[in-house]
Amino acid sequence: MLLNYPLEQNLFQDSMAKQKKTEELRGLSAEDLFQKQKGLKKELFDLYYQRKVGRVEKPHRFKEIRKNIARMMTVIREKEI
């Protein structure tokens, strides 16, 4: 029984989007992944700095960036094996 069909549909779409992102990452070389990861870590550092100063425009980016870094680390590890 579907209680909230639009919500479940959004969750499915989010899942598909994440799969697509991961597949795109798998197509990149290890060097490209390290460069993207370095850029995301710098962006995360800047967000933490903004938080300390007291003005973060997009607080949801913390979670997104951490998850993207984890995705990249997973793909890099897969390439090592």
Residue 43 lies in a domain: yes
CATH no. for residue 56? 1.10.287
pLDDT confidence of residue 1:
47
> Residue 45 belongs to what domain range?
29-81
pLDDT digits (tens, 9 = 90+) for 36-63: 999 999 999 999 999 999 888 888 999 9
80 is a domain residue: yes
Identity at 7, one-letter amino acid code: L
Q: How confident is the model over 28-34, as a mean pLDDT?
A: 90
What's the mean pLDDT in 27-36? 91
DSSP letter at 26 equals H
25 pLDDT band, cuts 50/70/90, is confident
